[in-house]
Every structure is written in structure tokens, then in C-alpha cells.
């Protein structure tokens, strides 16, 4: 794919995103793809087909994937195989993001650089990266700003740096980090009534975890944090 073809590919998606209730279907195979999607409005979708459970596919190395959602009730349902830079910016409420990166162990999740920003309320992120310790040297930054947001993140990586900022009430986070080499996770938060569960495990390597959270719960609505760390030992987990 030459430079002119890349530019045309990007322009097609930008033009197609000018109206509400858009559906963009992607099946891309090849290296150095540059894909930018901008959708403004509600009820938009980026996926693999008209079926809600069909993921789009990006397969190749050195890919640059950028998505900007502005509005509510939008869906992103996708699958990535290959080294990639991913930048997802969501502004609005009730948006659903379901993304797999090399979940089937195709050795295609190395050197990833991910940035995800969620601004608004009642958004849901389900992110799975790697399997069998294949997502090497991952750099992941995430911001959540709003209430009633949910993030379910599973990363199987060697050498992971994960920084996350959360601001808002009634936010939920489930993070599972596994893999051979050490992981570094930093969580900074502000808000009340949160539910946070962190399970971090590597094989005989050093993991680091830093949490700074400002907020509280009540007798009827808890603010809970449960942390499990293990280097191949036994752990009880969270109740």
C-alpha cells in the first residue's frame, strides 16, 4: 500500500463519518496502515459487519489506528493483530468499546502504544491484550472522566507500563495483568463509590503497583479496592 493509497483510505472514513447512525466495517490486512475514524452523533458503529458481535480486523505491523467518537450510544467492536499505535478518544455517554489485541496468541501484540480517553458517563470498555505472554513492551495510558463508567482490562504481557487516571463517582475497574516479566501499574483517582479490583501476576519477576485515590463511600454504597499480587505463588483473590 503506497502513500497515496493510505491517504485515500483515511479520507474515505472521514467523509463517511459526517452523519449520525453511521456504520463502518473494516477488514484490513497489510503493514503500515494509517486509519483515522471520526464519528459525531449517536448510534454510530465501527465493526466488522452489520452483526453486533462481528469484530473489525486490522492485521499488520506498524499500524496507526485513531478513533474519535463524539456523542452517545456508539459502538466500537474490533480485533487487532500486529504492532500498533492505538489512540481512542470518546466524548459522550453510553458508548461501548470492545477491543481484542492478539487475544488468540498470534504473536502480534508486541511494542504496542495505546492511549484511551473516555469522557462522559455510563461508558463501557472491554479490552483484552495478548495471551501466553506475547504482548511485549506495552505502553498503555488511559483516562476516565465521568460517572458510572466501567473498564474490564486483561493484559498478558512481558514488560508492561500502565498509567490510569480516573475522575468521577460510581466507576468500576477490573484489571488483570499477567505475563513473565514485570508490570508497572499506576492508578490515580478522584471520586466516590468506586469498585476497583486489581490482579497482577508475573512469573518470578518484580511487579510495581501505585494507587492514589481520593474519595469515599457510605454504609449503603461502598467504595472498595481489592488487590491481588503474585509471582507464581498462591493467592486468595477478591471476594
Q: What is the pLDDT of residue 239?
A: 61
Residue 99, strand partner residues: 78, 127
* Mean of pLDDT values over 194-210: 83
Q: What is the pLDDT of residue 198?
A: 92
Residue 56: count other Cβ atoms within 10 Å of its Cβ: 23
- Report the range of poorest mean pLDDT among 35-39, 66-70, 91-95, 217-221: 217-221
Percent of the chain at pLDDT > 90 equals 46
pLDDT at 21 over 90: no
pLDDT at 182 over 80: no
Beta strands in the chain (DSSP E): 23-25, 27-29, 34-40, 45-47, 56-59, 63-70, 75-81, 84-91, 96-101, 113-119, 124-129, 135-145, 150-167, 172-178, 183-190, 195-201, 208-214, 224-230
pLDDT at 177 over 90: no
- Report the range of poorest mean pLDDT among 8-17, 64-73, 204-213: 8-17
Q: What is the pLDDT of residue 9?
A: 46
* Mean of pLDDT values over 64-69: 94
pLDDT at 22 over 70: yes
Q: What is the pLDDT of residue 18?
A: 41
* Mean of pLDDT values over 4-21: 43
Percent of the chain at pLDDT > 70 equals 84
* Mean of pLDDT values over 45-55: 81
Q: What is the pLDDT of residue 208?
A: 86
Q: What is the pLDDT of residue 2?
A: 40
Q: What is the pLDDT of residues 121-146, one digit of tens each?
A: 999 999 999 877 677 888 999 999 99
pLDDT band for 76, please (50, 70, 90 cuts). very high
* Mean of pLDDT values over 43-70: 87
* Mean of pLDDT values over 137-157: 94
CA-nearest of 69, 78, 62 to 25 is 78
Amino acid at each position: 500500500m503506497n502513500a497515496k493509497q493510505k491517504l485515500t483510505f483515511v479520507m474515505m472514513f472521514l467523509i463517511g463519518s459526517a452523519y449520525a447512525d453511521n456504520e463502518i466495517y473494516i477488514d484490513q490486512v497489510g503493514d503500515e496502515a494509517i486509519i483515522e475514524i471520526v464519528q459525531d452523533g449517536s448510534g454510530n458503529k465501527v465493526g466488522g459487519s452489520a452483526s453486533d458481535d462481528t469484530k473489525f480486523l486490522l492485521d499488520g505491523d506498524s499500524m496507526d489506528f485513531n478513533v474519535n467518537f463524539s456523542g452517545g450510544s456508539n459502538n466500537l467492536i474490533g480485533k487487532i493483530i500486529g504492532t500498533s499505535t492505538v489512540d481512542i478518544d470518546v466524548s459522550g455517554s453510553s458508548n461501548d468499546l470492545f477491543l481484542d489485541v492478539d487475544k488468540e496468541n498470534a504473536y502480534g501484540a508486541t511494542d504496542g502504544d495505546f492511549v484511551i480517553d473516555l469522557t462522559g458517563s455510563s461508558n463501557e470498555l472491554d479490552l483484552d491484550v495478548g495471551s501466553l505472554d506475547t504482548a511485549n513492551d506495552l505502553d498503555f495510558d488511559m483516562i476516565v472522566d465521568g460517572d458510572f463508567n466501567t473498564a474490564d482490562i486483561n493484559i498478558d504481557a512481558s514488560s508492561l507500563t500502565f498509567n490510569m487516571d480516573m475522575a468521577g463517582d460510581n466507576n468500576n475497574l477490573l484489571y488483570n495483568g499477567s505475563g513473565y516479566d514485570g508490570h508497572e501499574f499506576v492508578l490515580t483517582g478522584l471520586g466516590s463509590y468506586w469498585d476497583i479490583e486489581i490482579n497482577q501476576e508475573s512469573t518470578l519477576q518484580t511487579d510495581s503497583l501505585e494507587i492514589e485515590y481520593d474519595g469515599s463511600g457510605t454504609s449503603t454504597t461502598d467504595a472498595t479496592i481489592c488487590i491481588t499480587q503474585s509471582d507464581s505463588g498462591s493467592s486468595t483473590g477478591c471476594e
